[in-house]
Amino acid sequence: MTSSPRHSSNDLTEIPVLTDDDLHSRVAAIVGPAVVPQLWLLFFTPLGYQLPVVIPVQDPPTGLPRAEQCTAMVTAMKGAIWETGEDAAAVFVIERPDQTVITHLDQIWARRLLAAAATADLPVRGVFISLSTGVRPLPLTPG
């Protein structure tokens, strides 16, 4: 479940991420354009420093996890972060290599992740999508 990111985050953990544009740039630097379908989790302290924990999670076969799967995953991730002794907010990145646009399923997945984070009392700093054309913030539509 855990592996190293495509781009080293060692140097990046020394540079705080303060604005939304900074966050977008950081996610683009670490995840980049989509290669394989998966979910990435990154974590940032309240002062904007990225924790040296970047977790890519292989996409479930259906492409859309059930709400209870999201809750179990996010709760486990919060536990792992809590063990580091750091107070951190999550950033979720949905990676979709076969897409160039955001779909309704991406929106559902993001809403499930946000609901799971709320259940686990894990703050969320942002949700992004990595498409074959690059990384974009994932705006949530009602529903």
Q: pLDDT tens, position by position, for the chain (143 residues)?
A: 344 445 444 577 889 999 999 999 999 999 999 999 999 999 999 999 999 888 888 866 566 788 888 898 888 888 878 777 778 999 999 999 989 999 989 999 999 999 999 999 999 999 999 999 999 999 876 65
In which order are the strands placed within the sheet that holds 124-131?
50-58, 38-44, 89-96, 124-131, 134-137
CA 75 to chain centroid, in Å, comes to 14
Q: Give the global pTM.
A: 0.86
CA 89 to chain centroid, in Å, comes to 10
**Class for the domain spanning 38-138:** alpha beta
- Asked if 1 contacts 55 with a C-beta cutoff of 8 angstroms, the reply is yes
Ordered by start, the domain boundaries in the chain are: 38-138
Q: How far apart are CA 139 and CA 103, in angstroms?
A: 11
